[in-house]
Structure 1
Amino acid sequence: MKEEVKIQIKFGGMAVIYRKFGRKRGLSTVLHFVMATASFNLLDFLGFRFFFYTAVGFFISVAVAIPILIYYPFSKWSRKSWLRFVKWRYPNWTIVEEVSVRGILDQGRNQGIYTLLLQGKSITDGVRSHLLQLTSTRPMLRSVLRKMWGFYGWRQVDEFRVENHLINASCSFKGRPITESNLQEFVNDVTSKFLSPNFSPWQVFVATCFLNGEETKVCIVRVHHLILRREHLTLADFLPLKYSSENWEYQESDSPLTNLYSEPSALPRLHQMLTESFSNYWNEFLCNNDPAENPALLKKSIGGFQCVKIGVIVWVSTVKEVTRCYKKVDGFRFIEVFAILRREASKRNFRTSVIFWAFMNVVNPVEIFYSSIHWMWYICVTFILKTPILLIRELNALRSSQKHFHPDTLTSVLACYLPLVFQTIAELTSIATIVVTAPKLILEELFFKSSETNHLQTISLCGRKIVAWSEEVEIETISKISSVTGASEAEILLAATAASFKEYFKQSGLQTPAEILVTAKFVSQRALFLRNQETRGVLCLGLPTKTPLLDDNPLETLQVIQENVHKARSKQKATYAISAAESSTGLVSCYVPSILLKLALLYLTRRYSLSLTHVDGDLPVEGVDAAMYWRPPQGYCSMSVTLHRHGGGVRLGVIGDAMIGPHHFLITKAFRRSVQELAVTVGVPRTPSRSRSPSPASPLGSASPTTSPGY
């Protein structure tokens, strides 16, 4: 009789059942079963799951990369052909050839319009003359922007007028003076309007309002991201602000959204030292062996060694000239390389006859005899006289504690270069580790991490944007909480933001998800007001709205935030570096086909439904009493929040699609209360609450439910 035995083997999340029928099934079946059982148990027993998953991630990445590499040349050729067709179709338009993530995600229902709100008494003095001067030097500010056949195009307006972009509002809104009670409603009304497609996509809105009974000015600057990128402008450049770049001291923030990895120090230093040394040796080599520098070289017959030296000089000069011409001239042809080679050789009188006689000197017996005598004499002198002197100098350098006092010794060179070489190897090993583990971690963090669908992901976008901002939270309170809990100030603000969204879901009658996936970015005040090219990446985080133990415990929320930030900083170094490289040089959009990149980005903006920006740093700008910055959501992302520090306080700003309003005010109203609840929980004395009428230190105030605009 056949005896059937079922054996279950667990591997990962799978259960494999093998059936063993007995001896009559044959030796091959038994061997197959034993080998399968042994392999699965070995993987489980020795803990090789990590290597297995890493290998799977690597092979998946290779399988994805190979079609991309095959498709890339065709994609670049087809895109270039399509670009030529669009230029032929619209000859009066200047077509934007570069591709960026922001441009790929742009759509009619989610345009990339950056917004800056400033409040002060003298920030609008001379704004019109300032804009006239600015637009006279920036042609994009006088041009219409349209998207045609997949490309952006610029066309200069025939009759440009600053008044079409500079709007001076009256002191009233809907029949009432603009005060702290209806200021947010007024700003909402401005931001909810689309920019006119007949003018360049930028606008400066100036209004007079009464805060604390005093007359003051409010400026709203709205600019399309393509203008800021192509003209190298900031939002503050559209206002006549008074500040000196010398007052901006470089201060590195302790925000966990930046500095995920230390910049390589040994590698650039080693590169610089090697470059300087090579440049010095090369200049000396040219001085001694270049006929253009030393014409006396070719006045007598040269040997084969000297001929090779001149040939190397000609080849290097040709390569440098070809590179320069290729960058300067569009459509440089390969056949022109030979013309450049002939020109460089002719400049040095390096003709075929010179090469022929150099070869004849090489095979000439008399020259061979003289060369042998010369080298024998050189070797004897070196060993008898020069070598002892060199050894004495090396011994003196070894005994000296200051190796740089002996610059011409091998000991000095090794003492200078060996530490740098070892540090460079360590840095390269760290970079290689990040590169090797990047495919698995990126796939796991961006695509395979489990998440729960929330209302922000399923909302239908209408395109109009509404904004809100919270009451000011004192930095002193945040610092006290940080000293008690050990958390950074940014982590405390993230915990308060998570609690605010929890209140938003609860009071809106929506289902509260376990967490909200966000893409977070750090922006310094310096980047908002000065034209500096800082490179910052994006970090993917989860904001918990439900905690494992106690739902309404702010301290537990903070602990979960700390854990999420720690995991993200340890796992997302590659993602952060790639996003930083994309924002500065367009690394990803340059090499990945646009259609594939757009599909991936649309999926990610649907998954990460919230965009978060942390603005930190001093603001030494004269006359600015308050500032609020909004980075626009794009793609399928429906909302963006900003944690903006100004002076001694920080505010939470929200910009989202108008379909979310008026419930977006619930988020900003709960922010200050969430910080106070966390302070009470950890035992920090409560700061006296500020009145609803904002004080001079808190000029923007807050919105009450009665003034919330109904959309």
Structure 2
Amino acid sequence: MQATESTSGKEGHFLDFLVTLWIFVIALVAVPYIITCYTVLYIFQNVWFGTASFLNPELEFIKSTTLRSLVETHRNQGILTIMLKINGPPTLASIRRHLEELVRRKDRSGKLAFPHLTDCLVTRCGTYAWRKSTFDLEQNLIFAPYNFRGRPVNELTIQDYVSDIVSKLLPTSIPPWQVVIIPSSENHHYLLLRLHHILLSEGLNIADMLPLIPPVRTSVSGSDCNTSLGNVLLMPKFIPALKDRLTQDFTNSWNEFILNNDPLEKPELFKRNASFFEFVAISFIVLVSTFKEWRKGLKSIKPGLLSHVKYLCITLRREQAKRQINLNIFVKSIFVSCDPRNVIAIFIRNWYRWSLFTLAIPYKLYMEAKAIQSCIMLKYCAYPNTIVGFLYSYVPLTFKASQELLNYAGIIFNTPRAIWEELSRNSEKVETVTLCGRKVVAWSEPVKIETIRKIANSTSTTDTEIILATASEALSRFVVHANNVQPKEIPITARNINSNYFLLTGSNVRPTDSVGGMLCVDLPILDSRKDADLMENLKRIKDNINTAKEHQQLTYLLSMLQTKYGFLSKLLPATLITIALKYLSLKYSVSFTEITSRQPFVMQRTIWGQEVSSVIYWRPPQANISISLCTNYYGQNVIFGVMCDAQLAPNHHLLVRGFHEYVKDLEASAAIQ
């Protein structure tokens, strides 16, 4: 019986391997078509943009393509929204001066640093373009009234007030950004920034729009948050070590080669005629030096193939002149090598070297034995110049590096099947209404970071898993209240963003460097109509995240490459990507974004000295995504925010209103455990 079960298990594993192999081969066969597609798209896009620019000379077309621009419609815009709560009265004049300076700011060449802040965004020939317009700051800078629907603006009305502003589309007749100052009847005010995502691809950072004091530290990875959404990729350890070892040994050998054969390092080579082999060595040094100098000078010459080739020829002639290499020297080197006296001298020299080597064999064997003894007794080799030392240095390192390569090969081999299984499986949806594209927002009361960290430490989980456990409870109540259906799991997309994304600025700062990759996670949903076990649900969330991190390393990397370099949108046709995004957003209709702080427990200040007590950032849901959950770490607190389709209002408040209560429930369950 056991033998039969063992045989059937082996057959099952073999069939599973065959299915994975078959899907991988299909993906491999598609690679040449993707490369061909990229070439065709590159040519077609250049022709298309050239034709569009010729037909519309007054417009400046945007050639970069992002995933948001592919799924964006007039009524479902990708407007990034961030709100600052600032202590003290509003200062309209200071904000106006900041924005005026930003619009007029120039770079080192004397050109406007952000020329498109004053341009209108239009659509022509199926793509975005900038159109010059008469810019009036008063249309983009708005000082909101002190009252909202007849009531003063305070903590009770601010959420409805902000939702009312966010739900309105940005006018197409003004540049696609807006700053709204919201005064309050209490001793603080709010600064709301709405920014079209296209501006971020034009060199603008969100922090440029915010009147905040620049941070002292600029480390992108300077976050103290215990997150599950970072370090998804298994970073190689032995492959870089092997690379460094090879680089070091090669550098030493190259420096020795230069020292013995470069006339600039060994001037006596200029005083005699070089042999043929010396000429070859000097010529090789000339070629390497030419390439190095050519690469250094590329930034100082005009772009273009002709300029590069011309500069390469000039560099080659300069390096030849330094070392006195020409055709005459080449001919002389042949005669020098064929001289009988030189031939006899070379023969005697080689015979002498071989004689010394033969006599030194006993000593070399002794040194090899000492090296073996050193490896056994001391666990390291004290004789690196021996064969044993070389093997002891490279063999274990090469073996471990090969293991890492095989591991990465396994990830690549299994990824096509993992993607196929994710695409083909059925999943449950949250919304049951047709989306309208307008957005509403809400946010929770702040919760202390120490409280979440305490629960995470007592349950051996991470801050991310604690937040997702509260999101599970919130989604459970929202779904039951909205359509009286209780799903067991809801597929969500999750990613981590460092707060440098919207709080760091500078000419060398790219916001996309602060954005992590995306994970697709099945979020277990608590049954709010029964006595649910919060700790068991937390364990399921942890297991699901670990499973996703194990099987989605390559897709996580691809999502990062797309965010930073537009990798996928350059390879595949826009129509195919749009269809895929619409389909995937139907399956993953909830997105979760974790915004971790680059400087935990540090409060920002405006450039005129007022303290910023809270920062809330919302990522807009697009395509068929209906709910975007955002966790904002700032100072000593965490705020849970949501931006969702206006058709889900007013129930969207249920997603964040009980955040403080959910954390207390988890804290109580962790204490009982």
Q: Same fold (TM over 0.5)?
A: yes
Does the CA-based 8 Å contact 2:632-2:640 persist in structure 1? Answer: yes
Q: Which residue number corresponds to residue 668 of structure 1?
A: 656
Match of 1:315 among 287, 294, 301: 287
Match of 1:141 among 117, 134, 138: 117
Q: Which residue number corresponds to residue 444 of structure 1?
A: 421
Q: Which residue number corresponds to residue 274 of structure 2?
A: 302
Q: Which residue number corresponds to residue 573 of structure 1?
A: 553
Q: Which amino acid aligns with 2:130?
A: W
Does the CA-based 8 Å contact 2:371-2:386 persist in structure 1? Answer: no
| Deviation for aligned residue 1:587 | 2.9
Deviations 1:635-665 (A, max 9, x none): 3322211122334443321112222222212
Q: Is 1:638 matched with 2:626?
A: yes
Q: Which amino acid aligns with 1:354?
A: I
CA–CA distance in structure 2, aligned partners of residues 601 and 247 of structure 1: 33
For residues 287-298 of structure 1, the aligned pairs below 5 Å read 287-291=259-263, 297=269
Larger CA Rg, structure 1 vs 2: 1
CA–CA distance in structure 2, aligned partners of residues 256 and 667 of structure 1: 22
CA–CA distance in structure 2, aligned partners of residues 410 and 156 of structure 1: 71
Q: Is 1:186 matched with 2:161?
A: yes
CA–CA distance in structure 2, aligned partners of residues 189 and 175 of structure 1: 14
Alpha-carbon distance change, 428 to 572 in structure 1, aligned in 2, over 3 angstroms: same
Aligned residues: CA RMSD:
3.8
Does the CA-based 8 Å contact 1:303-1:362 persist in structure 2? Answer: yes
CA–CA distance in structure 2, aligned partners of residues 585 and 391 of structure 1: 57
TM-score, normalising length from structure 1?
0.79
For residues 564-603 of structure 1, the aligned pairs below 5 Å read 564-603=544-583
Q: Which residue number corresponds to residue 43 of structure 2?
A: 77
| Deviation for aligned residue 1:170 | 3.1
CA–CA distance in structure 2, aligned partners of residues 508 and 46 of structure 1: 43
Alpha-carbon distance change, 115 to 429 in structure 1, aligned in 2, over 3 angstroms: same
Q: Is 1:508 matched with 2:482?
A: yes
Moved more, 95-104 or 649-658: 95-104
Partner SS state of residue 669, structure 1: coil
Q: Which residue number corresponds to residue 189 of structure 2?
A: 217
| Deviation for aligned residue 1:75 | 2.1
Match of 2:33 among 67, 83, 86: 67
Alpha-carbon distance change, 363 to 84 in structure 1, aligned in 2, over 3 angstroms: farther
Q: Which residue number corresponds to residue 112 of structure 1?
A: 78
Q: Which residue number corresponds to residue 522 of structure 1?
A: 496
CA–CA distance in structure 1, aligned partners of residues 667 and 434 of structure 2: 34
Q: Is 1:490 matched with 2:474?
A: no
| Deviation for aligned residue 1:131 | 2.6
CA–CA distance in structure 1, aligned partners of residues 290 and 126 of structure 2: 40
Alpha-carbon distance change, 616 to 73 in structure 1, aligned in 2, over 3 angstroms: closer
Alpha-carbon distance change, 607 to 509 in structure 1, aligned in 2, over 3 angstroms: closer
CA–CA distance in structure 1, aligned partners of residues 390 and 515 of structure 2: 35
Partner SS state of residue 659, structure 1: helix
Q: Which amino acid aligns with 1:79?
A: Q
Does the CA-based 8 Å contact 1:203-1:222 persist in structure 2? Answer: yes
Alpha-carbon distance change, 594 to 263 in structure 1, aligned in 2, over 3 angstroms: same
Alpha-carbon distance change, 412 to 63 in structure 1, aligned in 2, over 3 angstroms: closer
Deviations 1:319-359 (A, max 9, x none): 45666788865441597698468636753443333333333
Q: Which residue number corresponds to residue 468 of structure 1?
A: 442
TM-score, normalising length from structure 2?
0.83
CA–CA distance in structure 1, aligned partners of residues 463 and 254 of structure 2: 52
Does the CA-based 8 Å contact 2:368-2:387 persist in structure 1? Answer: no
Q: Is 1:131 matched with 2:82?
A: no
Does the CA-based 8 Å contact 2:429-2:586 persist in structure 1? Answer: no
Partner SS state of residue 536, structure 1: strand
Moved more, 184-193 or 670-679: 670-679
Deviations 1:268-308 (A, max 9, x none): 34434443543454345345434566676355332221122
Q: Which amino acid aligns with 1:134?
A: L
Match of 2:524 among 531, 544, 566: 544
Does the CA-based 8 Å contact 2:493-2:518 persist in structure 1? Answer: yes
Partner SS state of residue 583, structure 1: helix
Q: Which amino acid aligns with 1:652?
A: F
Q: Is 1:53 matched with 2:19?
A: yes
| Deviation for aligned residue 1:539 | 0.7
Q: Is 1:230 matched with 2:205?
A: no
Match of 1:170 among 122, 141, 145: 145
Count of matched residue pairs? 639
Q: Which amino acid aligns with 2:171?
A: S
Deviations 1:661-710 (A, max 9, x none): 2221222234444444445555559xxxxxxxxxxxxxxxxxxxxxxxxx
Q: Which amino acid aligns with 1:437?
A: N
Alpha-carbon distance change, 64 to 453 in structure 1, aligned in 2, over 3 angstroms: farther
Q: Which amino acid aligns with 2:227?
A: S
Q: Which amino acid aligns with 1:57?
A: I
CA–CA distance in structure 2, aligned partners of residues 273 and 123 of structure 1: 61
Q: Is 1:332 matched with 2:300?
A: no
| Deviation for aligned residue 1:570 | 1.9
Q: Which residue number corresponds to residue 31 of structure 1?
A: none
| Deviation for aligned residue 1:466 | 1.2
Match of 1:657 among 631, 645, 649: 645
Partner SS state of residue 253, structure 1: coil
| Deviation for aligned residue 1:415 | 5.8
For residues 400-439 of structure 1, the aligned pairs below 5 Å read 420-439=397-416
Does the CA-based 8 Å contact 1:116-1:221 persist in structure 2? Answer: yes
What is the aligned-residue identity percentage? 29
Q: Which amino acid aligns with 1:570?
A: E
For residues 692-707 of structure 1, the aligned pairs below 5 Å read none
Alpha-carbon distance change, 164 to 405 in structure 1, aligned in 2, over 3 angstroms: farther
| Deviation for aligned residue 1:540 | 0.4
CA–CA distance in structure 1, aligned partners of residues 315 and 498 of structure 2: 50
CA–CA distance in structure 2, aligned partners of residues 337 and 82 of structure 1: 32
Does the CA-based 8 Å contact 1:582-1:588 persist in structure 2? Answer: yes
Q: Which residue number corresponds to residue 271 of structure 1?
A: 243
Deviations 1:368-402 (A, max 9, x none): 22211122123334554798489659948964959
Does the CA-based 8 Å contact 1:642-1:653 persist in structure 2? Answer: yes
Partner SS state of residue 468, structure 1: strand
| Deviation for aligned residue 1:51 | 0.5
CA–CA distance in structure 1, aligned partners of residues 395 and 138 of structure 2: 64
Alpha-carbon distance change, 186 to 332 in structure 1, aligned in 2, over 3 angstroms: same
CA–CA distance in structure 1, aligned partners of residues 466 and 22 of structure 2: 38
Partner SS state of residue 540, structure 1: strand
